[in-house]
Amino acid sequence: MKKITLSAIALIGALSLNAQDDAPKLSVSGTVDVYGTTNTVDGTGTPGLLIANPEKANGFGLGMANTVFSYDGAKSGVVADLAFGPRADDANMAGAINQLYAYYNLSEKVTITAGQFNTFLGYEVISPAANFNYSVSYLFNAGPFSHTGVKLDYAASEDLSFLLAVTNGHAISSSDANESGATQFGAQVGYKGQYLNFIYGAVDVPAAPTDAVFVDYTGGFDLSDSFYVGINAAYAYSDDAESGYQGAALYLENTFSDTFALGLRPEFFSLTSADDSQDVLALTLTGSAQLDDNLKLITELRYDSSDDYIIEGIAAEKNATALTIAAVYSF
């Protein structure tokens, strides 16, 4: 009798734990970042600062306050990613909304997502907490930040994954009516942390969109326990506009301890047209110090060079060096 009673108690306890595991869960996370910046030229400006007017950057500034609300159920959930501040104003497509989407797990391997979600192109993201560098690359600024539409993710195995997406043309936000019917089609193939991305469709102008193709490779490799190499290479071109871009960046990162890492990001970027190209080279040296579990201090020295005068934020110069120190708090 005791054995039966104990077994019943154990069974009830197990069922209770499973019920708790399946219960919907609300989580809240986010970041806050601030910075100070200066340069070596006669005037203001810092290349790669994700603000609306990087040519005006000087002294101290605010990045963004970002709060992510996630409600996850057994098979479905929603994410509301809200961001405020200059960095958010430059990246968001619909007011304070960085991301707003719902998802449903059709199976353990297949998930469908609908709403506004960050792009699957590129190596870097909007949130400074998820990037090693504080300033962003030319490749990041050139491509889409977010998409509004539907995507399907399929995890074929632990190593192999696929993605298909149908969205509005980028730069058409979820707050716009998309009166032109501008549409993009996207795809991704992932294998062991290496991702090949494609997008084809309308870009930029809601009233008179032009078609363009985007091809992007993002990946990386651990060369040792402490040294990592990230890679981003991209090509985009529109026959309608007879313009596009191409470029490549490396992310060389060495972790010296649990609290300090040093990285170098060399990047070559080119604006292309039917007649010629305009090129820029950027070298970014970054030290990242984790002061505690939540606070990270990023010190960045960046050098940009362009004989074609296309340095972001400092277009009047062929060469520019900028020093930026940023504090990023995550919770």
The pLDDT > 90 percentage for the chain reads 72
Q: Is 97 within the bounds of a domain?
A: yes
What pLDDT, in 10s, does the model give residues 69-92? 999 999 999 999 999 998 888 777
Q: Is 234 within the bounds of a domain?
A: yes
Q: Is 13 within the bounds of a domain?
A: no
305 forms beta bridges with 281, 319
Q: Is 4 within the bounds of a domain?
A: no
pLDDT for position 182: 82
What pLDDT, in 10s, does the model give residues 184-213? 999 999 999 999 999 999 886 555 668 899
Q: Is 263 within the bounds of a domain?
A: yes
Q: Is 19 within the bounds of a domain?
A: no
- The CATH number for 268's domain is 2.40.160.10
Query: How does residue 52 score in pLDDT terms, banded at 50, 70 and 90?
Result: confident
Q: Enter the pTM of the model.
A: 0.89
pLDDT for position 7: 42
What pLDDT, in 10s, does the model give residues 112-134? 999 999 999 999 999 999 999 99
Q: Is 62 within the bounds of a domain?
A: yes
Q: Is 6 within the bounds of a domain?
A: no
Average pLDDT, the chain: 89
Domain enclosing residue 119, as ranges: 25-330
* Counted domains in the chain: 1
Among 33-42, 166-175, 247-256, top mean pLDDT goes to: 247-256
